[in-house]
Amino acid sequence: MLGYSMTPRLQTEGLVRHLGGRNVVDGISLSVPAGQVTCLLGPSGCGKSTTLRIIAGVDRQDAGTVRLNGEIVADARTHVPPEARGVGLMFQDFALFPHLSVARNIGFGLPRDAVSAARIAELLTRIDLVGYEDKHPHELSGGEQQRVALARALAPRPKIMLMDEPFSGLDNRLRDEIRDATLSVLKEEGTAVLLVTHEPDEAMRMADEIALMRDGRIVQQAAPYNIYNAPIDREAAAFFSDINVLSGEVYGALTDTPFGQFLAPGLPDGTAVDIVFRPQHVRIDFDRAGKGPSPTPAEGAPARGTVLRARFMGKESLVEFLMDDATSRVTATVPAVFLPKPGTVMWLSIRRDRCFVFP
């Protein structure tokens, strides 16, 4: 991070936006340093776009502050217009100018001089479209157009880039490739990026940090690995994958499950808890004359269950079990094609460090 100043490039404090009788943005504070991608992730309608629009200056907050490069651009007294904020914008409908060549599209916001020509050439290399400068948008594929739009947004060297679902217009096959290409260009430029998405996969792929939003608030902010492996609540866990939920009740800071006792520290007796874990963290073993694998510290006691159904999903298969307690259901993902018949008795083990106990 040599050469990057410590001041966050983008910082908001207590942003509030009141619309239609409620706070659609309800106290958003976040900061993004240079060279970092932060994803605002959340379900439709949680206030992501409104937050981004306030930061861009195309909407106004009812309370709170926006600082860009350390300077206040929006608070109760200040409202710097969008075009004077020096941020790059890239939205879903990144429409290029149809009558302009690729080079002219990229250079649209720049003076027409030798410095700009060099910048356009540099960006064409970055987006891997050297030789395309004289083509027009209709001669390009969707992915190529998207890369030109990215180059156009980056041409004036914005230190901050705001992106709202920028990849949603692309077909699935192209999307991963374009995401990776975009990410590497943004990293090379050292841009601070705030990217809005409702897709967990996109956030996991792009983000250095994910800010998970719900009802106008950030409920958790962390690196993808941490947010996936230490979700703050059941809903946050469920946002990233299917989950298994076992219900239990606390006695003496412990709760009983088919997989043995789980610690529930700090919770009073009688508290109802959910033990949550992902299908990927369930291991299955064959039944050997009524016996399963030996308990281990990492996995605790195995539990026996009967296959209800198994579905082939491509890379992996999903196997659903009814546990011997006759009430708990657990789904496991198994790699490749392993499709046990319904009625097969098997043993399930779960990684204890991948289980979450939520009141």
Ligand X SMILES: Nc1ncnc2c1ncn2[C@@H]1O[C@H](COP(=O)(O)OP(=O)(O)OP(=O)(O)O)[C@@H](O)[C@H]1O
Show the tokens assigned to 264: 């529930």
Which candidate, 12, 54, 48, places its Cα nearest to that of 165? 48
Q: What whole-number distance in Å separates Cα of residue 307 and Cα of residue 148? A: 51
Among 8, 10, 15, 24, binds ligand X (CB under 6 A): 24
Q: Does 214 engage in binding with ligand X (CB under 6 A)?
A: no
- 310 has which bridge partners? 319
Binding mask 2-21 for ligand X (x = CB under 6 A): -----------------xx-
Nearer to ligand X, 177 or 201 (CB): 201
Binding mask 278-317 for ligand X (x = CB under 6 A): ----------------------------------------
Q: What whole-number distance in Å separates Cα of residue 89 and Cα of residue 59? A: 14
Show the tokens assigned to 226: 């941490």
Smallest gap, in angstroms, from Cβ of residue 323 to ligand X?
37
Element of type H or E holding 342:
none
Nearer to ligand X, 212 or 334 (CB): 212
Show the tokens assigned to 318: 């999903």
Binding mask 143-182 for ligand X (x = CB under 6 A): ----------------------------------------
Binding mask 30-69 for ligand X (x = CB under 6 A): ------------x-xxxxxxx-------------------
Show the tokens assigned to 298: 């990492």
Which segments of 43-170 are extended strands (E)? Answer: 63-68, 71-74, 87-91, 160-164
Cβ-contact 299, 217 below 8 angstroms: no
Smallest gap, in angstroms, from Cβ of residue 22 to ligand X?
8
Binding site for ligand X (CB under 6 A): 19-20, 24, 42, 44-50, 198
